[in-house]
Structure 1
Amino acid sequence: MSVPNWEMFDKRATAAEKEIVYLKEQIQWLHQNITNNTSQTVPDVNKEEFEKLQQENIKLKHRIAILTRTIEAERNKASAMSNTSQSNIISINDTLCEIFRKAITAAYPDVLNPPVIVTTSNNPKFGDYQCNSAMPLAQQLSSSGNKVIPRNIANNIMSKLEESPLVDKYEIAGAGFINIYLKRDFGQLVLSNWLKIGEVLPPYVKKKRVIVDFSSPNIAKEMHVGHLRSTIIGDSISRLLEYLGHDVLRLNHIGDWGTQFGMLIAHLQDKFPNYSTVTPAIQDLQAFYKESKIRFDSDEEFKKRAYECVVKLQAFEPNITKGWKMICDVSRKEFEKLYTRLDIKLIERGESFYQKRMELIVKELESKNLLEEDNGRKVMWGEKHGVGIPLIIVKSDGGFTYDTSDMAAIKQRIEEERADWANAGQSLHFQMLESCAKKAGILKSFHRVHHVGFGVVLGEDKKKFKTRSGETVKLIELLDEGLKRTLQKLKEKERDKVLSEEELKAAQESVAYGCIKYADLLHNRNHEYVFSFDKMLEDKGNTAVYILYALTRIRSIARMAKITQDELRKHARDIPISLEHEKEWKLAKVLLKFPDLLLDIKKNQAGEIVKVHIGRLLLTEATAMVLEKCFTLLGLKPVARM
């Protein structure tokens, strides 16, 4: 079966929508002219001009009606192909919004951009969803001088609503709310499709090329707790975008260039003079870095040699380059250990990658007269000159800065990687970088750039998370501590007596890394949060332990019934999911919200299962599939037994 040409539908619908916006603006202008004409005294009214405006108004509205039908037809084609190919799942909210948009437009064709408000109902007495458009629409209509009752508007909208495979019934309540009740048949169909396919499919979105920046550690320095949030948040964002079908480039912008490397290489030359032929034992790069930094700060002769090494490195002198690569490789292996443990995949791209591109961006900015002299430096202001802090593009000694590499990086991502959307940066710096990139013509209006900010991690004393000695907590030590505490918890629960050694290790890693990730993602991204292993490892409440265990228990139901997942998928072809009970339907409606009770078992006295409610078991499997997908997007790794 052919794959739907979503790009074609997008282009047709978008073009029609743009034309509608333009035509509505024209109608507004015409309305204004008509109003102005009719407000004049009778002798001044130009009847011919007035009639001409009215005729033009009618033509434009007719054109809008045609375009609206065009959009609807294209969307219906896309929806039909989507359902046929089973390539996406339906967003209930979007579908209901479209149903009501159509009804409101039919009921009130003269209203420009009518409010379409569909919300989830918190009380089952008022339906599963509600359309709350009548009240704001009444205000909009009453502003012209004719008072309209919201309930009458709701009745008019109801009269234009068409049948839908999603909706069982509509009813008007209160001042003019329209309650919406979903069809159970629809719920059964969607959940059955998930089971038949064996996957919870994503809703359709327009695909984009997205670049996400991650931890950005520095070579020769160990990753610490400060790298935790950008790593976890970046991974979760990437997982979500990838699941939706976007082309995601996960980048780790490594600090592998600059003065510190001259310092490190000069120290390497002194400590291991034969490093070009014998690989030195510099596994403790952190200590090696501290040694070189002390010399750099206290020894002028050493500092001079360090700067000379920087110049040679930037000129790619072979012997110096070999030392640089050696240092980078040792550091890179340490980073990789951490990323492997956290199940994070990314592509490293150091500042060294942009060396030649930095030279080119400086020439480009100079040719556009965008650089200003400032005490021997060359700086660049954003679109609002004098606002904020300028980017330092060239230092007074002729060297480049982080600002230079960032400008080269954003140009490379837009022009070479063809990115539509980029996520990166530190807040204030990012704003200035974005402004300068727009001024230089690198970022266009259609490019989307986002700074994903986050709060700091605090210790249980509510202060910046540090060791007892006051040093920054190393990330590797944090993960090790998580493993240690998780194993203690599992043994307290005597899980070591029922799990094999392999199962215990899998559970230990799942819970340890899962609780660290989930605790980070659980909190408001922009706020600080207190890091507490005791709270993370609680088996009650909103914790990784609780939700991971919930999935494990759901999966165990099928195991107890001696039915495999493959067998359940086969049953889904001819046995309907059980949604007869109100609680089953309530659970199903929660699952259906994913894009936007357990097994009824009876046992004999020996504890053997004698009756299996396959329909309800299918519901538990659909629940498990949704939970699994959610865990995948958060970067949590469930286990079969805990």
Structure 2
Amino acid sequence: MSGSAFNAELLKLRELERVTGELNAQIQSTRKVDNALLENLSDDELTKLQIENTKLKHRLAILKQSIGEETKGTGDDVAVNSDEIISITEHLEKLFAIAIAKAYPQYSDTAAVVAPVGNASAKFGDYQCNNAMGLAKKFKEAGINKPPREIATEIQKHCPSSPLIDKLEVAGAGFVNVFLNKDYAVGALSNLLRKGVKPPRVPKKRILIDFSSPNIAKQMHVGHLRSTIIGESISRLLEFLEHDVLRINHLGDWGTQFGMLIAHLEDCFPNFLNESPPIGDLQAFYKESKKRFDEDEEFKKRAYNRVVTLQSGEPNSIKAWQQICDVSRIEFQSIYDRLDVKITERGESFYQSRMLSVVEFLRNNNLLELDEGREIMWPDDTKTGIPLTIVKSDGGFTYDTSDMAAIRHRIEEEKVDWIIYVVDSGQSTHFKAIFKAAKRSGILDPDSHRVDHVNFGLVLGEDGKKFKTRSGDTVKLSDLLDEGLKRSMDQLRERGRDQVLSPEELRAAQESVAYGCIKYTDLCHNRISDYVFSFDKMLEDRGNTAVYLLYAYTRICSIARNSGADFSDLNKVLDTFNITLEHEKEWKLAKTLLKLNDILIKCAKDLLLHFLCEFCYEVCTVFTEFYDNCYCIEKDKSGKILKVNHSRILMCEATAAVLRQCFAILGLKPVNKI
């Protein structure tokens, strides 16, 4: 249960207790009725009073039972497995919510405010509860002068015990500092090594993620890069959290442009019904058809006719349309394979029959209005802003129609709880209108369903303008990936890696660096912002870059391999050796690794991946401090191994396991040698 949900339950509990108190008072009042008065009551009046008393007792019994159920788990101990990595922040929020409610019942609905303490302030603990100042203000507003430090002391006294907490201290103006327990950290990290990295426990949902969405007959370009990479990583994150995730590619595979493509196909490849047309460059094919459409009136008329025959299901037009789509699918899939993207196609054509259905639904509910021959729908009852065009004046449909049909299908037929649209920021107004219209029509119930537009900024060139080729054309995604491969190989050769790696290892390292740096550069920025695309910067081996992380990971993995000891079976090692956290850098690394679930929950809540990138960088920098100060392998001057510190190498393996899981979510593919 999240902190906010827990606070809501606690508030409900207090209300139940209040009502119970009132009922008790009523019963006691009834019991105190003078016997003489009872004797003077008529039989009907006495019977009525007895029935009312019985009802009150019954309600009291039900409320007491309800209170018993609500208070399960809110005793002095909040249940937690002592060997499990949990969300520390959420756990502490629950503890301090209980403490505040016990210390100050009048403010039992106050949400606990817990924040991690920066590494530079480690002497003040690891986390802080910062509620005292806010509560002092509330007391002052009620005419009571209560110092924050006094409030903090009361909160500390009433905080339940927990295996995560070593001690609590009140500091400064009124902070409650939390010091984590080393025994808990040892147990949690040992369990991680035995069982692998496990996800935090969250309520499971059925989630549909709409991302990538290129257009048929057009090549994927850099504009599709962000939607594809962000959508894939969000899918991986939510799948790791064990949600039921549908990855949907809402292809642009329908519309008037297919009329001109089909007409052009008939002219260029008249035997298309018997042989698949050898269209080498579909982008050029599209440009040719568009040029004819703009310049040749006869061709334009035939193109419009082909739109009609396609939409009516005429077999030859359907065949031509399918062949054009097939050529595009091959090109799209080659990009998805290179980026290791998994996605299910469900284009606009899928919703054709459902568009008819949603139009009928909106008409029947009197939500459509005639406007200069078209049928429009206002997103909300204020009828302000820009209306949706549901049916054009010629009877055709629009993106508004298909998106309304899609959201209805996803909620009513797919039965999803949460829909995520990964589309650029330029579509924000459109999606706000779609979400409002879906609510107004009753398709979307905000209490049961969540919808998010995961918007993102532009990819800019080093000149700060929209990323283009030197000739001013849009950058093809395939060309961008090819350039990444070339640059990464050049860097590997400059480092002399081609002299020590086998051809297979070199190729794996090349792809790991090339595709990893493209993905990571996108994800490490706040997605809402624009970012500058620069191969020179993304291939740097210092700072928060994929190259730095991949090299760091490979070095970490090599430590156990170079120790001369057998770490192939970590369970066996843990049966013999324990993790100890005696050195301050060992303890700092352990606490950093324990942040993982907090970070994953934050990323899932806000649908922002840069927090995970920052965490990976923090893990690597803290590990470097640990490795520089704590010998894992001691050697003599000749290089002979004198001593192996198994505990510290187990910490190396735990670090590698955490990074490996984070990389999997971000779509990075680490290699053993680089």
Q: TM-score w.r.t. structure 2 length?
A: 0.85
Partner residue, 2:185: 187
The answer (yes or no) to whether the contact 1:168–1:183 under 8 Å persists in 2 is: yes
Compute the displacement of 1:184 (Å): 0.5
What RMSD over aligned residues (CA atoms) do the two structures have, in Å? 2.8
Relative to structure 1, is the Cα distance of residues 178 and 13 closer, same or farther in structure 2, using a 3 angstrom cutoff? closer
Partner residue, 1:344: 341
CA distance in 1, matches of 2:9, 2:90: 19
Q: Summarize the alignment of residues 523-534 of structure 1 with structure 2, pairs less than 5 Å apart.
A: 523-534=525-536
The answer (yes or no) to whether the contact 1:376–1:395 under 8 Å persists in 2 is: yes
Cα deviation code 1:323-352 (max 9, x no counterpart): 111111110010000011011101110111
CA distance in 2, matches of 1:585, 1:313: 67
Compute the displacement of 1:100 (Å): 1.4
Compute the displacement of 1:572 (Å): 2.0
1:619 aligned to 2:651? yes
Structure 1 SS opposite 2:72: helix
Partner residue, 1:49: none
The answer (yes or no) to whether the contact 1:392–1:403 under 8 Å persists in 2 is: yes
Partner residue, 1:366: 363
Cα deviation code 1:475-502 (max 9, x no counterpart): 0000000000000001001011111111
Partner residue, 1:423: 420
Partner residue, 2:176: 178
Structure 1 counterpart of 2:402, from 400, 405, 414? 405
Aligned residues: 601
The answer (yes or no) to whether the contact 2:76–2:160 under 8 Å persists in 1 is: no
Structure 2 counterpart of 1:200, from 197, 201, 208? 197
Deviates more, 1:382-391 or 1:411-420: 382-391
Relative to structure 1, is the Cα distance of residues 182 and 240 closer, same or farther in structure 2, using a 3 angstrom cutoff? same
Deviates more, 1:239-248 or 1:379-388: 379-388
CA distance in 1, matches of 2:111, 2:75: 22
The answer (yes or no) to whether the contact 1:89–1:204 under 8 Å persists in 2 is: no
Partner residue, 1:163: 161
Partner residue, 1:434: 435
Partner residue, 2:296: 299
Instruction: Letter of the 1:105 partner, please give it.
Output: A
Structure 2 SS opposite 1:398: coil
The answer (yes or no) to whether the contact 2:85–2:189 under 8 Å persists in 1 is: no
The answer (yes or no) to whether the contact 1:16–1:67 under 8 Å persists in 2 is: no
The answer (yes or no) to whether the contact 2:102–2:108 under 8 Å persists in 1 is: no
Compute the displacement of 1:556 (Å): 0.6
Instruction: Letter of the 1:70 partner, please give it.
Output: E
Deviates more, 1:348-357 or 1:609-618: 609-618
Compute the displacement of 1:112 (Å): 4.0
The answer (yes or no) to whether the contact 2:373–2:392 under 8 Å persists in 1 is: yes
CA distance in 1, matches of 2:14, 2:531: 44
Relative to structure 1, is the Cα distance of residues 495 and 77 closer, same or farther in structure 2, using a 3 angstrom cutoff? farther
Partner residue, 1:239: 236
Deviates more, 1:534-543 or 1:594-603: 594-603
Structure 1 SS opposite 2:568: helix
CA distance in 2, matches of 1:207, 1:71: 22
Partner residue, 1:579: 581
CA distance in 1, matches of 2:59, 2:512: 61
1:111 aligned to 2:110? no
The answer (yes or no) to whether the contact 1:259–1:307 under 8 Å persists in 2 is: yes
Relative to structure 1, is the Cα distance of residues 368 and 267 closer, same or farther in structure 2, using a 3 angstrom cutoff? same
1:283 aligned to 2:264? no
Compute the displacement of 1:89 (Å): 3.2
Compute the displacement of 1:585 (Å): 0.3
Partner residue, 1:52: none
Partner residue, 1:53: none
Q: TM-score w.r.t. structure 1 length?
A: 0.89
Deviates more, 1:94-103 or 1:66-75: 66-75
Partner residue, 2:134: 136
Partner residue, 2:72: 73
Structure 2 SS opposite 1:201: coil
Relative to structure 1, is the Cα distance of residues 415 and 115 closer, same or farther in structure 2, using a 3 angstrom cutoff? closer
Compute the displacement of 1:565 (Å): 4.8
Relative to structure 1, is the Cα distance of residues 169 and 393 closer, same or farther in structure 2, using a 3 angstrom cutoff? same
Instruction: Letter of the 1:432 partner, please give it.
Output: A
The answer (yes or no) to whether the contact 1:388–1:432 under 8 Å persists in 2 is: no
Structure 2 SS opposite 1:526: coil
Instruction: Letter of the 2:173 partner, please give it.
Output: A
Relative to structure 1, is the Cα distance of residues 171 and 83 closer, same or farther in structure 2, using a 3 angstrom cutoff? closer
Compute the displacement of 1:582 (Å): 0.9
Compute the displacement of 1:578 (Å): 2.5
Relative to structure 1, is the Cα distance of residues 374 and 247 closer, same or farther in structure 2, using a 3 angstrom cutoff? same
The answer (yes or no) to whether the contact 2:115–2:128 under 8 Å persists in 1 is: yes
Gaps of 5+ in 2: 24-57, 599-625
Partner residue, 1:258: 255
Structure 2 counterpart of 1:518, from 509, 517, 520? 520
Structure 2 SS opposite 1:442: coil
Partner residue, 2:488: 486
Partner residue, 2:87: 91
1:631 aligned to 2:628? no
Gaps of 5+ in 1: 1-5, 31-58
Partner residue, 1:270: 267
The answer (yes or no) to whether the contact 1:20–1:64 under 8 Å persists in 2 is: no
The answer (yes or no) to whether the contact 2:420–2:451 under 8 Å persists in 1 is: yes
Partner residue, 1:353: 350
Relative to structure 1, is the Cα distance of residues 163 and 79 closer, same or farther in structure 2, using a 3 angstrom cutoff? closer
Structure 2 SS opposite 1:451: strand
Compute the displacement of 1:16 (Å): 5.1
Compute the displacement of 1:95 (Å): 1.2
